[in-house]
Amino acid sequence: MRQPTRDEAKKFKRHDAKLVGFDQKPTWSGELPFYEWKCNIHGLVQNYEQGFNYVLECPDCQNIRLNERFPKKDT
């Protein structure tokens, strides 16, 4: 994860989370800002903004919600 420059820290500042750096996954065309904030259930978590509304969602809560919505079928 690349640390943000001073200008990037100002540009990507949020009132509800702390910018921790920029990362790029193998399938992504560019890097995204990653933020850290406190989830009410899981404590401190890190993730990137999602969707057109730039929502920050706890990755653990997101996995739980997806597993409830699309349960794995027994084979």
| pLDDT per position as a tens digit, 7-63 | 999 999 999 999 999 999 999 999 999 999 999 999 999 999 999 999 999 999 999
Tell me the pTM: 0.87
Q: Look at residue 75 in the predicted model and tell me its pLDDT.
A: 61
* pLDDT level of residue 72 (50, 70, 90 thresholds): confident
DSSP H helices, the chain, are 6-11, 59-69
**Whole domain around residue 18: which residue ranges?**
6-69
Domain membership flag for residue 74: no
**75 within some domain:** no
> How many domains does the chain contain in total?
1
Rounded CA-CA distance 47/40 in Å is: 15
Residues 39/58, Cβ–Cβ less than 8 Å:
yes
Strand 18-23 vs strand 43-48: parallel, antiparallel, or unpaired?
unpaired
49 located within any domain: yes
